[in-house]
């Protein structure tokens, strides 16, 4: 008996590894007739339709008498539900739009509204004569300051999913949560580029340094003009901001500039690609689908130190909050997935970022 008891752990381990046992219901691999409609095995992945399970076991239990041969899939009266419908366990996602502002701006967590002071003008120094007369003194001049408020604005989205879908497609919950997060990120990216600043983040476009303006359209639809403007805007940015400067544009704009470079047959190519990263005039290029397209009056390109020029405040941290609400629609057999984040973005130093604006 001692030897038999010593083997019990080994027996239990082997039984746990026996996948056939996992498909047995009440000791039977094929359930009895009274339980046909609840015949789904407990641990097997569900990849077939509900109608298939029901019709197949009716056909099996009646020895093929109660369901006729399947004519085509989906027609219950003809036995079509007995044709298995396989649902792949993976949901093929869409590629998100390109988002780049968060990667190059300054991002901080906030717990409340923050008022950020900034200088708008230098004080003015003046010469002083060596004479020690009473009226010969250093002139007083104070810098000019203003301030802006970094607040937090809510944005979010919900998904309503059935219990059946979340159970039958194991990967759908992760897909739905990923979709929530991407939807919020894409909305925020549009605000970072072109937001009004009222009830939402302040956009970069229209609130940076003037840079190069009035670029005229040519026969190549701004291509050569944009290429030339990228040279000119280098001189518009203060040298203090050059060490960490980068470009921000839509990928389609980058393609136009690269084509113009090829057409110009430059001896020293200004657009290069190294280790999977694009560079323009030696400065890294960041892409954002929210940047304006090439068109009259638009600002398709920004250049500067975005960490100095733009600040993003995430209330309570940078994570996107996801909540699973299983009570509001429980009687309907549904779950609500809720995603949200509170954030704000503001241009804090306009001269740190220069724009290339096309002629209207």
* Cβ neighbours of 193 (radius 10 Å): 24
| Residues forming a β-bridge with 119 | 145
Residue 17: the pLDDT is: 65
Residue 305: the pLDDT is: 97
Decide if 41 contacts 19 (C-beta within 8 A): no
Query: What CA–CA distances, in Å, run from 56 to 74, 153, 165?
Result: 13, 54, 21
Q: Which two tokens stand for residue 323?
A: 């909540």
Dihedral angle at the C-alpha atoms of 61, 52, 166, 24, nearest 10 degrees? Answer: 30
Residue 78: the pLDDT is: 46
Decide if 314 contacts 126 (C-beta within 8 A): no
Domain boundaries, the chain: 2-82, 93-121+144-360
Q: Which two tokens stand for residue 177?
A: 């949560």
Query: What CA–CA distances, in Å, run from 345 to 135, 237, 289, 351?
Result: 49, 22, 18, 17
| Residues forming a β-bridge with 156 | 340
Q: Which of 204, 207, 360 is nearest to 288 (CA)?
A: 204
Strand 277-280 versus strand 301-304 pairing type: unpaired
Q: Which two tokens stand for residue 160?
A: 């309503």
Q: Which CATH architecture has domain 93-121+144-360?
A: Alpha-Beta Complex (3.90)
User: Half-sphere exposure of 95 toward its Cβ, with a 13 Å CA cutoff?
Assistant: 3
User: Half-sphere exposure of 138 toward its Cβ, with a 13 Å CA cutoff?
Assistant: 6
| Residues forming a β-bridge with 353 | 304
Q: Cβ contacts of residue 252 below 8 Å, gap of 6+?
A: 293, 294
Q: How far apart are CA 344 and CA 315, in angstroms?
A: 8
* Cβ neighbours of 355 (radius 10 Å): 25
Residue 137: the pLDDT is: 77
Q: Show the beta-strand stretches assigned E in 143-242.
A: 144-150, 153-162, 209-215
| Residues forming a β-bridge with 6 | none
Q: How far apart are CA 204 and CA 101, in angstroms?
A: 9
Q: Cβ contacts of residue 16 below 8 Å, gap of 6+?
A: none
pTM above 0.85, yes or no: no
User: How do the pLDDT tens digits run along the chain, 360 residues long?
Assistant: 888 888 888 888 777 766 555 555 555 544 444 444 444 444 545 555 666 667 667 767 776 666 554 444 445 554 455 555 556 666 777 888 899 999 999 999 999 999 988 888 888 888 877 776 666 777 888 888 889 999 999 999 999 988 888 877 777 888 888 899 999 999 999 999 999 999 999 999 999 999 998 888 877 788 888 999 999 999 999 999 999 999 999 999 999 999 998 888 877 889 999 999 999 999 999 999 999 999 989 999 999 999 999 999 999 888 899 898 888 888 988 989 999 999 999 999 999 999 999 987
Residue 51: the pLDDT is: 65
Q: Cβ contacts of residue 312 below 8 Å, gap of 6+?
A: 101, 102, 105, 106, 107, 108, 192, 201, 343, 344, 345
Residue 58: the pLDDT is: 72
């Amino acid at each position: 008996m001692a030897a038999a008891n010593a083997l019990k752990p080994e027996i239990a381990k082997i039984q746990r590894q026996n996948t056939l046992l996992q498909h047995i219901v009440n000791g039977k691999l094929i359930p009895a007739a009274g339980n046909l409609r609840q015949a789904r095995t407990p641990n097997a992945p569900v990849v077939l339709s509900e109608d298939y399970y029901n019709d197949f076991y009716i056909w099996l239990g009646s020895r093929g008498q109660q369901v006729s041969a399947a004519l085509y899939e989906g027609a219950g009266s003809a036995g079509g539900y007995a044709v298995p419908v396989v649902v792949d366990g993976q949901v093929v996602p869409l590629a998100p739009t390109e988002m780049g502002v968060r990667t190059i701006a300054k991002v901080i967590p906030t717990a409340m509204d923050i008022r950020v002071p900034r200088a708008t003008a230098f004080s003015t120094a003046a010469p002083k004569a060596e004479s020690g007369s009473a009226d010969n003194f250093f002139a007083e001049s104070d810098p000019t300051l203003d301030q802006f408020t970094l607040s937090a604005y809510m944005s979010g989205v919900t998904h309503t999913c059935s219990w059946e879908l979340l159970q039958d497609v194991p990967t759908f919950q992760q897909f739905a949560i990923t979709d929530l997060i991407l939807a919020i990120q894409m909305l925020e990216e549009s605000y970072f580029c072109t937001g009004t600043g009222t009830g939402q983040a302040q956009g970069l476009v229209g609130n940076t340094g003037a840079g190069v303006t009035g670029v005229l359209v040519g026969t190549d639809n701004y291509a050569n003009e944009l290429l030339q403007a990228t040279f000119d805007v280098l001189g518009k940015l203060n040298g203090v901001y050059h060490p960490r400067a980068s470009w921000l544009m839509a990928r389609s704009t980058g393609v136009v500039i690269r084509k113009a470079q090829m057409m110009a047959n430059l001896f020293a190519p200004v657009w290069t690609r190294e280790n999977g990263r694009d560079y323009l005039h030696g400065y890294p290029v960041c892409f954002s689908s929210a940047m304006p397209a090439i068109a009259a009056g638009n600002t398709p390109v920004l250049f500067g130190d975005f960490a100095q020029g733009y600040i993003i405040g995430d209330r309570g941290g940078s994570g996107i909050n996801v909540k699973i609400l299983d009570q509001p629609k429980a009687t309907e057999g549904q779950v609500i997935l809720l995603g949200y984040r509170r954030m704000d973005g503001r241009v804090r130093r306009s001269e740190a970022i220069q724009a290339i604006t096309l002629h209207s």
